[in-house]
Amino acid sequence: MSSKFPVSYQPICDIQFEGLHLIEASAGTGKTYTLSSLMVRIFLEKYLPNQVIATTFTRAAAAELKSRIRARLIEVQQYLEPLHTVLESDIYTRAAQESDPLKQHLLKTFAPRIAYACERLKLVIDQLDELFVGTLDSFSQKLLREFAFESGKIERAQITEDAKAYTRQLIHDVLREWIQSQPQHVIDALYSVGALKSVDHFVGMVESSLNFSSAHFKLPDMPEIELAQLQQWQQQAQQIDLSALAEYFNLDGAYYSHINGTSFRNNAFNKLFCESLPQLLKALADPQNIQVFDSYFSDARETVFKFLDKLDSQKIFKKCPAEVSDGFYQHPTILHIQKLCHSLKETQQQFEQLQVYLKAYLCIEVKQRLPRVLQQKGETTFAQQIKTLSEALKGEQGQRFAVFVQTRYPLILVDEFQDTNQDQDDMLATIWRHPQRYQKGCMIMVGDRKQAIYGFRGGDMLTFLNAYQDIMSKQGREYKLIHNHRSVKELVEVVDVLFQRQMDFGEQVLYDPIQAGSRPHPALIENGQLNPAPLRWLQLQDGNEQATQVAWKIQCLLNQAHLQQLYLDGDNHQVISEDDIAVLSRSHRQLDEVQYALERLGIRVNRPSKRSVFDSKIAQDVGALLTALLHPYDEAKLKRALLSRLFGFDLSQLVALEQSAEGLSHYIQQFDDIREMWRNQGFLVAWQRCLNQFEIWQQLVATQSKDNERAVVNLRHLTDILSQHSEHVQGIQNLYHWYLKQLHSPSDREWELEHKLSSEAGVQLMTIHQSKGLEFKIVFLLGANKAFSEMQKTLNFSTTEIQIPETGQTRTQRVVAIADKNFLQQTELDQHQQRAQAEQNRLWYVALTRASHRVYAVFEPEKGDKNKRSGLAFWKNQGDVFQHIHSIEDSLVLERPQALQTKQGAEQRLLTAQPLPEQRFYARGKTSFSYLAQHLKHKANRLDRLANADQQFDQAEDEFDLLTVESVAVSQPIAWIKQYFPKGTLAGNFLHEIFEQIDFQHPETWIEEIRRRFKNTYQGLWVALLEQYQQHFPEQENAEQQLYQWIALWLADVLQTPLNQGFQLQQLVVGQYLSECPFYLALSDRVLAMQRVQQLFEEYDIQMPEFIDAKSARYLNGSIDLVYFDGQRYHIADYKSNYLGENQADYQSTQIAESMSLSSYWLQAALYLVALHRYLSVKLQNYRIDQHLGGASYLYLRGMNGQADQGYFYWKPEDEFILRLDAILGYFSEDKLGKMV
């Protein structure tokens, strides 16, 4: 079925973001470039990042795709920004000349709206973190959490880290239950034939079947085995006398010469009657004759059954007299043997069928029980999570759920679509390909069916083909990328011609002709020739010389590079190095052989590690150290730890230590201290002390060894794992036992695989599956014509046609069965073989498209017809002999080449290390004056607390009262309410809030505000004030009204006090001032230079105690009590409830200035004035600091009585001071703005 739309070859320009779209991107055709370009169009033309989903196959690919999208967005933004002032007609002209299809399309589309496009791009870049780019597994997890109510899956399940353990446990339980339900004689027989194996034997098969959970699993009938005939066999076997046939099977017998020598070579007929048959008959004659099915007798049974086939077809003799052959065929002994062997063979087939049934039963039962077990544990797996999501999307409620999802995310882009399994595609189809809704959103599927090579993980070409049929039936659009940008033109051309020799890869996968792309490549120069013969065939004479020939050929290439005969062309010739070469193979065994050969030549090898860090020697040593830390007084455990590589003791050193006066007591004490630290302060603190105290890092590299870096990296890896896991377990014993469990059963989970080393370089060795998506300059393909054969085949994959009830359409469904040729039909076996062969063809397509400059295809000697149609020979041997101008049959290397060494290589290199960084990284945080002014450092945390917590300060937290007051002279006392009003932060907060809320020009409303504030928020403060009043005026009545009146008079004193140039706050009307004006002041993206700030104050003769460092501060936050305009300048005022004494003389300018120095209010005033300066420079047109910026008034409320020079201090620093402080604080933009674009 095909769409009514023609195939497009320019998806970047042609896609309209509605409906269904399928992009087939052949190898090297710029898929990621296309996807990032489409994302730019999506964001510019239709959707924002939080409305779009992008999924791909791996987390690494997802991270790369998101970074490419961001880079493409920034590139387009920078491209469009200069076009603001360009005429529309000139933009159209520029579009016609543009080679980039995305930029060309955007110029044509947005020529009249360039400014809009730029603003939209800025918005998208700011919101790009809201774009979801991840795997389908993580996306399903996101949907179940985000739409928990709509999906009905409110219980949140944790992804298990040990799914295989659940599988093993279920296999064990199901197998045990099944055994208990069977008769004992059947179980005995199954043990005898070897059908009942350990749980480990079934794990791989069951897990493979779980990858195809949506497929139909074929369950055979369980055979009924009657073992009563065993007694009959015993009697029959005892009656058989083989000596009666001696003339037929003895080498000198009268009739032996008539035996068919073709059927019975090398005296096989004689051995049959002298060895195999007597062996079986003896076993059958035994009372425990069930042992005849033991593996010990397997060769004898196989020989006898082959004889039985020839006996049934009467092919025992060559041409001979009839009486000779008839005498044998009709002989009573032969007839007894024939009957007995038929019965034996039939029973064996029943056992084999029962074994097949048991395997199928295990697969089906585990699949059914696994969801329940996971639910009971509150856990799930990624595969089960997809199933859960698919189930939630079924039914009427499921359709509503799907509508919610599609409305929230109207566009989804699915990368590597050819690798989706059936469960994943069902989920995607229900949401975005629903027959009634697919036009309301957009689904873009990207993949290449020729690169579908992950059948062992659940990927199935049948899933892709069914999805393709579904897309085309819904008028989906199809696009193809046909320009290879990865490889040089010569290699693209020769590979294209090769694949066109047989364009049908199998399973409806057809090859599309490819052309060389426009991406420039430096030519590979060899002996002065440009890209000579990029496809080379290495035909081996001996299959055992493959590894040697490949290693020698690589050495020859490196020697050519050393002689400047093999290099990449360019301004600076880049000679070919080990890192530019890759060796790919289907099997690890061949890679092992090549690695051995390369290392013997001294050529470096880089091979991806698939080894668990728990499987390393260092992991064992860490386990020993943890054991010793938990049991410091157990000398055996302590000695084991000391003998590890972590401590470096050998036996002689340990013996000497034990015989010394101190003995092991020093280590016992230290280990005991670390154990206590572990208990009290956590694992990481104790572990770091242990590593540092015993100099374990230094000990690991104390002696020269090639695995030093691996040991250090593994120890760091194990430290990280233990530290992270210690946050999720309680108690040191739980962490210790969890670690021992990992040591006992290392796995292949991604987080526990060994990390890559920084020194890893050299010829890259990997399987073809691992190489998918990668690019290498020169590639060697091992066993490129090796005959394909499945190793340890456990499952058979076939198909059947089913009818979909909802639509009535016919659909092909996958059928999975236990691989057994006696149980399956020939068509099922043939379908499986065709599927496997087609995937092998796709695998070799992937292999041949990894190189950018040259490929060496290594062919083994031909052995029969299989080699002629296997691997790359599938294409090379089609029709006539393959010949092409860019392909040659390369010659073998006849002798081991000697490595050419450079002079520099022979000299000892002087190693230099970079100096340790003097700067320290701090997380970006914010600070405030209240934090900076905490002068008593010994009371503060020595660490930079801003890196750990966001400090919150009350409005009056920076106010301090003088506990000891020396009155300078006898003077008028302050009012009672000012002297006895409670002191401290709470009282200061009350006064701040009162001044924030009252209207300065309407005193009649003040008492009501005071009453409301006390009643609602400050009842404790009111109680304290009332107690003071009753102590001093016990006989007075109406205390409440009197106190309210006194506080109102106090407020009037404050507002009537003449400030700078006689200005009074009561003159302010609404609109001329801002109360409690908060601000965030951006600082430079560097450590805040508090020492420079202190030096600046000292230059202006302002002395204050030392400030606290705030190294992580990148923002300064605060709140100015009052910003006001007096008609000429903008000023700030700060209310202070500080108690300086009981007389008015204590609140004169000199005393207030001393208090400001003690409390560092000069710093506060300066910071607030800088904030006001920045605010005015943005908000006030034609702002000038010398004309508009005023000063700071510090209002000591207890001393303000309405008289001039009482209770306040006005400070107007020089303009230069403010500007210099502003420069010291800096701006975020001066460091980062230029780097963000």
3-state secondary structure of 795: strand
The answer to whether the CB of 260 falls within 8 A of the CB of 317 is yes
Over residues 236-280, the pLDDT tens digits come to 787 888 888 888 889 888 888 888 888 888 888 998 899 988 888
Q: Provide the 10 A C-beta neighbour count for residue 304.
A: 22
Q: Which tokens sit at 376?
A: 């009971």
For the chain, percent of residues with pLDDT exceeding 70: 91
Distance CA 234, CA 389 (A): 59
Q: Over 876-934, what HEC string results?
A: HCCCCCCCCCCEEEECCCCCCCCCCCCHHHHCCCCCCCCCCCCCCCCCCEEECHHHHCC
- Cα 189 from Cα 347, distance rounded (Å): 10
**534-578: pLDDT as tens digits:** 999 999 998 899 999 999 999 999 999 999 999 999 878 899 999
Q: How far apart are CA 455 and CA 507, in angstroms?
A: 13
pLDDT 10s digits, 573-600: 899 999 999 999 999 999 999 999 999 9
How many whole angstroms separate alpha carbon 366 and alpha carbon 389? 20
Tokens representing residue 787 in the block = 């005959």
Structure tokens at 529: 């020739």
| Among 951, 918, 924, CA closest to 1086 | 924
Lowest mean pLDDT among 113-127, 661-675, 922-936, 962-976: 922-936
pLDDT score for 131: 95
Instruction: Taking residues 439-460, report their average pLDDT.
Output: 92
Over 80: is that where the pLDDT of 904 sits?
A: no
Q: Are 959 and 1183 in contact (CB under 8 A)?
A: no
Per the annotation, binding residues for Mg(2+) are 992, 1121, 1134
**Catalytic residues, which ones?**
1134
Contact 667, 638 (CB under 8 A): yes
pLDDT of residue 1234: 36
In eight-state DSSP terms, residue 409 is: -
End-to-end CA distance of the chain: 47
Residues in the annotated binding site: 25-32, 992, 1121, 1134
Task: Kindly report which listed range (479-488, 736-745, 919-928, 985-994) carries the lowest average pLDDT score.
Answer: 919-928
Residue 170 has pLDDT above 90, yes or no: yes
Residues 6+ apart with CB under 8 A from 96: 104
Which of 990, 989, 987 lies closest to 955, judged by CA? 989
User: Measured between alpha carbons, how far is residue 984 from residues 690, 989, 1057 in Å?
Assistant: 47, 9, 24
Q: What is the mean pLDDT of residues 330-338?
A: 89
Q: What whole-number distance in Å separates Cα of residue 543 and Cα of residue 36?
A: 46
User: In whole angstroms, what separates CA 921 from the centre of its chain?
Assistant: 25
d(CA 707, CA 712): 9
The annotation places the binding site for ATP at: 25-32
Instruction: Determine phi and psi for 870, rounding to 5 degrees.
Output: -110, 150
Half-sphere exposure of 1080 (CA within 13 A, CB side): 7
pTM of the model: 0.73
Report residue 323: phi and psi, to 5°. Answer: -65, -30
Residues with Cβ within 8 Å of residue 1078, at least 6 apart in sequence: 1117, 1118, 1119
Task: Provide Rg for the chain, Cα atoms.
Answer: 43
> Rounded distance, CA 613 to CA 752, Å?
6
| Kind of pairing between the strands at 19-25 and 477-481 | parallel
- Mean pLDDT, the chain, rounded, equals 87
pLDDT at 188: 78
- The pLDDT confidence band at residue 958, using thresholds 50, 70 and 90, is low
Token pair in block for residue 169: 């446990």
The tokens for 1221 are 């402080």
Instruction: Tell me the per-residue pLDDT of 173-231, one tens digit each, with 9 for 90 and over.
Output: 999 999 999 888 788 778 877 778 889 899 999 999 999 988 999 998 888 877 667 66
Phi, psi of 926 (to 5 degrees): -125, 160
Q: Which of 1069, 1105, 1104, 1109 is nearest to 1089 (CA)?
A: 1109
Nearest in space to 209 (alpha carbons), one of 795, 856, 779: 795
Residue 705 or residue 915, greater confidence: 705
CA distance 594 to 766: 11
Which of 453-467, 607-621, 892-906, 1096-1110 has the least mean pLDDT?
892-906
pLDDT at 788 over 50: yes
The residues with which 853 forms a beta bridge, in sequence order, are none
Q: Report how far residue 1026's alpha carbon sits from residue 1047's, in angstroms, rounded to the nearest whole number.
A: 13
Structure tokens at 736: 């210790």
- What is the amino acid identity at position 906? A
Contacts 24+ apart (CB under 8 A), 676-679: 678/629, 678/732, 679/732
Sign of CA dihedral 506, 512, 516, 517: negative
Tell me what pLDDT residue 948 has: 33
pLDDT at 916 (0 to 100): 60
Residue 964 or 934, more confident: 934
Tokens found for residue 268: 């096989």
- The confidence score (pLDDT) of residue 981 equals 92
pLDDT tens column, 1027-1086: 989 888 888 778 888 999 999 999 999 999 999 888 999 998 888 899 888 887 777 766
CA 955/CA 993 separation, integer angstroms: 9
Average pLDDT over residues 696-709: 88
Contact 457, 211 (CB under 8 A): yes
CA 1083 from chain centre, in angstroms, equals 34
CA dihedral 944, 948, 952, 958 (to 10 degrees): -10
- Residue range 107-137, pLDDT digits in tens: 999 999 999 999 999 999 999 999 999 999 9
Task: Quote the pLDDT of residue 1157.
Answer: 86
The per-residue pLDDT for 926 is 52
Q: How far is CA 819 from the centre of its chain?
A: 35
